[in-house]
Amino acid sequence: MKRLKTDILSCLIISMLVGVGASAAIAKTVKVTLTAKETDVVIDNKGTTYPAWSYDGMIPGKLIRATVGDDIDVTLINPKSNKKSHSIDFHAAEVDMLNELGSIRPGHSRHFSFRARHAGVYMYHCASNPLAQHIARGMFGVMIVDPKHYSKTYPNPDREYVLVQSQYFPDADNVTEMVANRGWTHALINGKIFHFDPIHDGNATGALMSRPGERVRIFFVNANINMPVSFHPMAGMWDRVFVNGNPDNVLYHVQTYGVPVAGASTFDIVSPADRSSHNLLMDHTMSAAMRGASTLLINDPAADPKLGRGDRILLR
């Protein structure tokens, strides 16, 4: 009996050690280098430019993707050519606000790391003063932290897309108006007005696509500086909503779901399998929807098989 107990205990210890080794082998380091760029960007489908502050000259900045347990190794560069100090705040990070999040003067850089502990979809943004101006002018992006495994509750989708909504303030230097929520004229989706909505903008040439019956997952971030978003799929329903993008926070069959300022959630939609259809993914706040916050999802058998997969989930 004593021998049996010893053998069982040995097996348990070996199993625990193997498990630890497996977790360590799966975890990885994700290296991220971002460069603050003060540059003009195009903010509509006509080619209008805007003096943005950005990461790598793009609004939103590059998509960062990791898995729970990964270490994120970050380098932020602020070139001498810039006039302003900049910084970065990862909402997925648990760090020191006065250290890792501190501002960097032009001609300097900062390096730090953190562990991605919780699955979800997160905003990252510049945290330098005036904070409202740095975000409103375009210094934000998205980080997705995937769970280690898909599940019955959080199934593997057929396609994925990233959408980021933000407010457009034409007067880029008027911080007072930004903070008072005055002077914004349009809503941007992934950096442009009616970016993927050819229904409401004849100059729009793109849209999201899927085949009928596919599960489409939308990673949605609200980068507005003042306004929450009422995210709604016109002509459909959210099959599932994962609050903050975390698989443990699941809601089923939701018509409209609110995303707070600087918040994010993950939305699954499944179109009818027996017909072609269209959905308009929109902010049901009319002051935003009618100023640019709508995106067309085309569900058609001829959908481009590359869209919503690989490196084509954050469309620009």
pLDDT per position as a tens digit, 97-136:
999 999 999 999 999 999 999 999 999 999 999 999 999 9
Sign, CA dihedral 175-221-265-279, equals positive
- Whether residue 162 is predicted with pLDDT greater than 50 in this model: the reply is yes
- Whether residue 235 is predicted with pLDDT greater than 90 in this model: the reply is yes
Work out the mean pLDDT of the chain and round it to a whole number: 93
pLDDT cut 90: percent of the chain above it: 91
Strand, helix or coil for residue 179: helix
d(CA 154, CA 148): 11
Q: How confident is the model at residue 26 (pLDDT cuts 50, 70, 90)?
A: confident
Q: How confident is the model at residue 239 (pLDDT cuts 50, 70, 90)?
A: very high
The single residue listed with the structure tokens 């270490």 is: 71
Q: What is the mean pLDDT of residues 82-89?
A: 98
- Whether residue 14 is predicted with pLDDT greater than 90 in this model: the reply is no
- Whether residue 10 is predicted with pLDDT greater than 80 in this model: the reply is no
**Overall residue count recorded for the chain in this entry:** 316
d(CA 314, CA 190): 8
Q: Where are the beta strands (DSSP E) in 58-179?
A: 64-67, 71-78, 89-90, 108-115, 120-125, 140-146, 159-168
d(CA 12, CA 2): 16
Q: What is the mean pLDDT of residues 169-175?
A: 98
- List the structure tokens of 288: 């935003």
- List the structure tokens of 276: 């072609």
Tell whether omega for the bond before 155 is within 30 degrees of 0, i.e. cis: no
- Whether residue 21 is predicted with pLDDT greater than 70 in this model: the reply is no
Domains and CATH numbers, the chain: 29-146 (2.60.40.420), 159-299 (2.60.40.420)
Strand, helix or coil for residue 8: helix
